[in-house]
Structure 1
């Protein structure tokens, strides 16, 4: 079984949104995407004071892809035009399939705005193939206690979708995406296999890690060569975001909140949104 090695590193650049600390490793100056993985925003870590304004993501549209949101710390309230609502707390996730079109809001609950507290959130965009871009929207919100935790060699994998160590995650991905985050202890490691021919996403959220002797610093994204498996190790405690997916061998045309296969489909998305065909998400009051 051959191991994957790092072929390139991409540091996240700061792109704060108001008072929200935001880092973005992809897309970046030298990388548009990692195969099926299109975009990552890393918000925080930071601590909000009492009486804060909360997160700034009021109602906005999406079409043609999925958003996977990891609430590492704090709370996130979701509402969308398909009728889904939830408040997900630290350690939980939100997986939204925008499909043919949805308007959603991602805000801080009223209790968090009143009391404040620590916040760290990751949002990853995952592409959909043409056959699924106009699928019906769906939403899965899972609290921390619904996400399996698989312990290994000094590492703990929080399994969102796919299988690991004989355990299955709570999300059944439409395209067979494996998604997780892992905490790695000092001198610990996590190994993932079944990667041959897959697009692999690896981001160092907290702390420095290494792959086959090559360092992956905190807040960096790794590009990996092909192979069957990868082992991520750490000399000090670290957190990583790790996923893999089948390649989607189709054109990718992205503009603003829409990801389609052609410029004409992007124009149609804007037309449909302006015509009110995505519906409306009410602001969350939780």
Structure 2
């Protein structure tokens, strides 16, 4: 089985009135190449007539976002002309590439009525050769995402990228990566074989799992070694897990604010291009 190097508790980092927990990056873990950033917002309940999510227009370059909506919704709008509202169980995938401006806010309905909200956003790095790719965005509702069952139906797997058990992921990525959301009933279990040398992204959103014989609590990220191939998981409670794996890029990483590049000079160029209006704009 794969060795567990360390288990990282997500730090509490609130954003305005939004409860936010983040295990990556941290003082002890810079990245799990090419998985570079995770924010876990909620679970919390918003009252009626709320302000919703605080993520107004802001730029990005050189990376991608995968946004998991467990409860509530997100209205996405960007300078490439994309706009959508995605609800519970849905996922948004955005490639910033050479640069765009986007906003991630709550729908008018959610701000009017309130309700539960739990949303996670994972950043994927882009390889140097694709840092300046054209921006793109795809938002899918729950019923548009391929899924399959494990352990006699006790585990539901949403397949987002790559292929698992013959089910191809909903999104076509910019590099080979597997990424899934798993909903596990208490008492269920599964094994997964991950090619030796690939990095594993393993974040427990809800519940308690026994992973390769070690108990893992919710809001914890498991850091594995690259050697060996097998991961065994048993759900000690009803749980939600985000599981991914990919070959590391092993390239220099320079991240500053919303830009993720390979050199400090490229970061400076990103700021210059943004100020020069090269990321586009819209009447927000």
TM-score (norm 2): 0.97
Aligned length: 281
Q: Distance in 2 between matches of 1:190 and 1:40?
A: 24
Q: Is the 8 A contact 1:104 1:281 kept in 2?
A: no
Q: Is the 8 A contact 2:45 2:117 kept in 1?
A: yes
Asked if 1:208 corresponds to 2:205, the answer is no
Query: Which residue in 1 is equivalent to 2:145?
Result: 147
Deviation of residue 229 (structure 1)?
2.6
Query: Which residue in 1 is equivalent to 2:250?
Result: 249
Describe how 1:221-240 pairs up with structure 2 within 5 A. 221-225=221-225, 226-240=227-241
Q: Distance in 1 between matches of 2:77 and 2:116?
A: 22
Q: Is the 8 A contact 2:127 2:249 kept in 1?
A: yes
Q: Is the 8 A contact 1:184 1:190 kept in 2?
A: no
Describe how 1:119-268 pairs up with structure 2 within 5 A. 119-153=117-151, 154-225=154-225, 226-268=227-269
Query: 5+ unaligned residues in a row in structure 1: which ranges?
Result: none
Q: Distance in 2 between matches of 1:67 and 1:282?
A: 23
Q: Distance in 2 between matches of 1:72 and 1:100?
A: 29
Query: 5+ unaligned residues in a row in structure 2: which ranges?
Result: none
Identify the match of residue 48 of structure 1 among 46, 49, 57: 46
Asked if 1:277 corresponds to 2:275, the answer is no
Deviation of residue 282 (structure 1)?
4.3
Describe how 1:89-128 pairs up with structure 2 within 5 A. 89-128=87-126
Deviation of residue 234 (structure 1)?
1.3
Q: Distance in 2 between matches of 1:79 and 1:282?
A: 11
Asked if 1:62 corresponds to 2:63, the answer is no
Deviation of residue 227 (structure 1)?
2.1
Deviation of residue 187 (structure 1)?
1.3
User: Which is bigger in relative contact order (C-alpha 8 A, separation at least 6)?
Assistant: 1
Return closer, same or farther for 1:24/1:185 CA change in 2, 3 Å cut-off: same
Q: Which moved more, 1:16-25 or 1:209-218?
A: 209-218
Q: Distance in 1 between matches of 2:269 and 2:122?
A: 24
Determine helix, strand or coil for the equivalent of 1:33. coil
Deviation of residue 120 (structure 1)?
0.4
Deviation of residue 192 (structure 1)?
2.3
Q: Distance in 2 between matches of 1:10 and 1:281?
A: 39
TM-score (norm 1): 0.96
Structure 1 segments (4+ residues) deviating >4 Å: none
Describe how 1:25-40 pairs up with structure 2 within 5 A. 25-40=23-38
Q: Distance in 2 between matches of 1:275 and 1:239?
A: 43
Q: Is the 8 A contact 2:194 2:245 kept in 1?
A: no
Aligned-residue RMSD, C-alpha: 1.0
